[in-house]
Chain A
Amino acid sequence: MSTASIVYDIIGRFTMHSLPFYDMVQNPTKENLINGSIAGFAACVAVGGLVIVVAGITYLKKWRWLWSEWLTSTDHKKIGIMYVVIAFVMMGRAIIEAILMRAQQAWGLDGGFLSPNHFGQLFSTHGTIMIFFMAMPFLIGVINYVMPLQIGARDVSFPVLNSISLMLTAAGAILIMASLVFGQFSTGGWFGYPPYTEAHFLPGVGPDYWIWALSLSGLGSTLTGINFAVTIFKERAPGMKLFYMPLFTWAALCTSIMMIFAMPPLTVATAQLALDRYLGFHYFTNELGGDMMHFVNLFWIFGHPEVYILIIPAFGIYSEVFSTYSGKALFGYASMVLAIMCIAILSFTVWVHHFFTMGQGPSINAVYGIASMLIGIPTGVKIYDWMWTMFRGRVRITAPMIYAIGFIVLFVLGGMSGIVLANPSVDFQVHNTDFLVAHFHNVIIPGVLFGLIAGYHFWFPKVFGYRLDERWGIFAACCWTLGFMLAFFPLYALGIMGLPRRTVAYAQPAYVPLEMAAFGGALLIGVALLSLLIQLVVSYLHRDENRVPVGDPWDGRSLEWACAAPPPEYNFPVIPMVSDRDAFTAAKAFGTAYLPPAEYVDITLPKNAAMGPVIGALGFAIAFGLVWHIWWLVCLATLGAFATMIVRGFARDTTKTIPAAEVEAEYEQWLEVVRAATPVTRADETRPVNQGLADQTALGAAS
């Protein structure tokens, strides 16, 4: 056995060239210097960030706290928070990448500063991160936190599974981060079409990073979907019929069912691509009976429902926001539920519109085009119903409402461009161009991201017990909206002018002004993200004057507002009885909110479990080993994962009990706070006087 083969056995495909600045040092051309510096800087930020976090935790002696309070926690609320933290970290990276790409294109007339390969990695990681490691964790985090509270449950049905899902998602995110430091990411885009991503054409580690990051996150999402669906079906408070559930919970139900159905196609597609790459199968190759269009079909059977998996929870958030900030019941509840169910079902019937240009017959194209347009019907209904919710309301323009209004305006435009694309004969002209890029950003940013940030504003006081700074919030919301318009409206024009997506450089001077405008918009979005960060810091520093311990800062309507902010670990001392929609509004109207229960009982909760972080770590090790062909690591980690599951099967003592007396003491203490608080009218809701107790005499109880 030669030394080289021993080294290969130990570190797999890793060489010095896998380090981001090695080429720059070896061959310092201008291009290598620029790209190496950017990549090296990004790697330093990733490693430096890790070092700072590790050092900080060590210095503050918080390892035990981190392990027992957070990483091993099975509390749906903490898991939700961790999901959202992952989402924000990844959003930071992906937005910086977006700004880099826009800068490259703005100066891309016959050149620019990025190498094509570097640019290819940027658009691939940007898309992959934004979909799988920003939007998905964000919405799963929000659902995790809010949904059990809204249905009056103590936790999700399978708390340990919840922790495993979180850690698998985290493992995928860390794998993508690792690609900054070790080797390169795929240049095959977020959908990684073969045969380009086959070993024959792209033999490096990039597509493998992509495959395994998606597999980890996809597995996590499937399990999450199962968990949420079962929770909503089985854990609702007594009396809460399906048609008493808040719209956000309905949205969570739709999304989870869609996850259960839509994630397997992704698993199959990436697994088959992995078989092609690792074992020489011929699923998607050009030759020997492979067919790349199988991948394209499978991917979009996942991919199209996926965009509705993303947007339906945001629809749910908008429903809560419009109704709460209009001081009014949601208009057309049943209609809204029917609409999201229609969207969920229709979303599985339209995937072919992603490749009208494949050369299939016109009838197939027309059928899928019309099916795509059909989705416009329930979506239109929802938009109308939100507007009718504001009709004869008392609309307060707060930060979440700015996002919501921006959403309606921009989403209508994005939906219109979607209808344009649903016409095969027009799609033939704008497919694969910047028009398409503009379209899906136009639905995903105002649709999904605005919704999630609105939800972040809306529920932040519930989660942390104090309100976010309103002025910075409004500033950020305006930056998001304007930045979005500036960044993406020019892309419609560029697409119509024939600019293909993913173009690193171009020869037409006519593109330059529009690209410059889009770059300005990207910078403004960067400012928006920065303002969100500043807002968080400012709010934290002023947290004492913005506390809302009573827990109902916005005169909320559903059960999550009925408990303290932040809520106790067990959510509700006694599971509430529900007899109406908008359960908390009804309770406030009848004066039954804030009453002590007849009797307190012991509460049983799951204990912390190391299963989640252990499986996550082993999942990461398996994936990393597979990417780099470090087979001993793969074998060890796989054995470890099996062993963990087997050992867990033998665990019996998995629950803990909180005695009734403790529950009572905590609850009485909170009731004291409630009695001491001054009820505020909606005019004062963003002022320090708002302690989270809503005045029912003025508006809420009127008429």
Chain B
Amino acid sequence: MSQEVFHYPGLNLGKAHPRTHAIAQTTIFGFWVFLMSDAILFGLVFSSYVTSVHATAGAPGPKQLFDITSVFAETLLLLASSFTFGMASLSMKYSHSKRRLVGWLVLTLVLGAGFLGLETHDFLTMVAKGGAPEHSGFLSAFWDLVPLHGLHVTGGSIWLICLLGQIKRYGLDTRTKLDIMRLALFWHFLDIVWIAIFTVVYLAGLA
């Protein structure tokens, strides 16, 4: 453990998985670079949102539209899913049973689906209150930023389902392990983005 060579930031599989660890050096580094690009994308959408936050043009604003209780519940669900994914990664690294790994992954998926369900409910409520995107610049910016994150989570969930299929088909081979590691990074990244959304959009909006 003390001799472990870290190839990149984050969870390294290490000596127990020599072949995967060697390939991961390039693959995971590449994924980090991709996340950097995605972070810039989110950063720009955030800046769009922040510059449009007062452009409500007479349409309902944050105070009329946001339901902090529901958003807080979403936050908890997503944070919990990040934790369960972390547990899945650890159980892969320390070669726990496949069932345990799959269990953590399925739990992550359920929590992610719960997040998406609640978020969809929030969106529908907003539309019912007159908060559809075509009513103002502020609402346009909101509907770009928050659903963009939601779409990312949806994509991650589909990826997770495919991964479960791959585990079933091939077991934990190199390719599957690399995919789990990449999806883990993606998932944690979306968690961080959500924290920013929770702070900038919801807390600041209701402050």
Tell me if chains A and B make direct contact, with any CB pair below 8 A. Answer: yes
Q: Which residues of A contact B166 (CB under 8 A)?
A: 649-650
Expressed in whole angstroms, the Cα–Cα distance for A291 and B26 within the complex equals 42
Question: A380 interface residue, CB < 8 Å from B?
Answer: no
Q: Which residues of B contact A646 (CB under 8 A)?
A: 158, 162
Q: Is the CB of A289 within 8 A of B56?
A: yes
Q: In A255-275, which residues have CB < 8 Å from any B CB?
A: 260-261, 263-265, 267-268, 271-272, 275
Question: B29 interface residue, CB < 8 Å from A?
Answer: yes
Cβ-neighbour of A230 out of B33, B59, B162, B165 (below 8 A)? B33
Q: Mark B141-156, 1 if CB is under 8 A from A, else 0.
A: 1011000000000000
Question: B119 interface residue, CB < 8 Å from A?
Answer: no
Most chain A CB within a 10 A radius of its CB, from B41, B137, B162, B169: B137
What's the least CB distance linking B190 to chain A, in Å?
16
Instruction: Report the interface size for chain B: residues with CB under 8 A from the other chain.
Output: 41
Binds A, one of B43-51, B65-73, B93-101: B43-51
Q: Which residues of B contact A650 (CB under 8 A)?
A: 162, 165-166, 169-170
A272/B162 contact (C-beta < 8 A), A264-B40, A294-B48 known = no
Q: Is the CB of B41 within 8 A of A264?
A: yes
Q: Which residues of A contact B199 (CB under 8 A)?
A: none
Instruction: Report the interface size for chain A: residues with CB under 8 A from the other chain.
Output: 40
A652/B33 contact (C-beta < 8 A), A230-B26, A268-B48, A291-B137 known = no
Q: In A615-667, which residues have CB < 8 Å from any B CB?
A: 642, 646, 649-650, 652
Expressed in whole angstroms, the Cα–Cα distance for A123 and B171 within the complex equals 56
Expressed in whole angstroms, the Cα–Cα distance for A22 and B135 within the complex equals 39
Q: Which residues of A contact B143 (CB under 8 A)?
A: 281
What's the least CB distance linking B171 to chain A, in Å?
11
Q: Is the CB of A234 within 8 A of B48?
A: no
Question: B5 interface residue, CB < 8 Å from A?
Answer: no
Question: B117 interface residue, CB < 8 Å from A?
Answer: no
Q: Which residues of B contact A287 (CB under 8 A)?
A: 57
Expressed in whole angstroms, the Cα–Cα distance for A306 and B57 within the complex equals 34
Nearest neighbor of B132 in chain A, beta-carbon distance: A280
Cβ-neighbour of B144 out of A264, A275, A288 (below 8 A)? A275
A230/B30 contact (C-beta < 8 A), A294-B48, A650-B166 known = yes
Q: Is the CB of A282 within 8 A of B136?
A: yes
Cβ-neighbour of A652 out of B30, B37, B138, B170 (below 8 A)? B170
What's the least CB distance linking A299 to chain B, in Å?
11
Question: A319 interface residue, CB < 8 Å from B?
Answer: no
Q: Is the CB of B48 within 8 A of A264?
A: no
What's the least CB distance linking A644 to chain B, in Å?
12
Question: B25 interface residue, CB < 8 Å from A?
Answer: yes
Expressed in whole angstroms, the Cα–Cα distance for A261 and B165 within the complex equals 34
Q: Mark A275-312, 1 if CB is under 8 A from B, else 0.
A: 11001111100011111001000100100000000000
What's the least CB distance linking A252 to chain B, in Å?
15
Question: B20 interface residue, CB < 8 Å from A?
Answer: no
Q: Which residues of A contact B169 (CB under 8 A)?
A: 650
Question: B107 interface residue, CB < 8 Å from A?
Answer: no
Expressed in whole angstroms, the Cα–Cα distance for A157 and B27 within the complex equals 8
Expressed in whole angstroms, the Cα–Cα distance for A280 and B134 within the complex equals 5
Expressed in whole angstroms, the Cα–Cα distance for A282 and B56 within the complex equals 10
Expressed in whole angstroms, the Cα–Cα distance for A145 and B74 within the complex equals 48
Expressed in whole angstroms, the Cα–Cα distance for A272 and B49 within the complex equals 12
Question: A229 interface residue, CB < 8 Å from B?
Answer: yes
Sample (25) of A-B pairs whose CB atoms are under 8 Å apart: A222-B37, A230-B30, A234-B26, A260-B40, A264-B37, A264-B38, A264-B40, A268-B45, A268-B48, A272-B144, A280-B133, A280-B134, A281-B134, A281-B140, A282-B135, A282-B139, A283-B140, A288-B55, A288-B57, A289-B136, A289-B140, A291-B51, A294-B52, A650-B170, A652-B170
Which B positions have Cβ atoms within 8 angstroms of A?
25-26, 29-30, 33-34, 36-38, 40-41, 44-45, 48, 51-52, 55-57, 59, 133-141, 143-144, 158, 162-163, 165-166, 169-170, 173, 175, 179
Which A positions have Cβ atoms within 8 angstroms of B?
157-158, 222, 225-227, 229-230, 233-235, 260-261, 263-265, 267-268, 271-272, 275-276, 279-283, 287-291, 294, 298, 301, 642, 646, 649-650, 652
Besides A261-B37, A298-B44, 5 new A-B residue pairs in contact (Cβ under 8 A), listed by A number: A158-B30, A230-B26, A263-B37, A268-B48, A291-B137
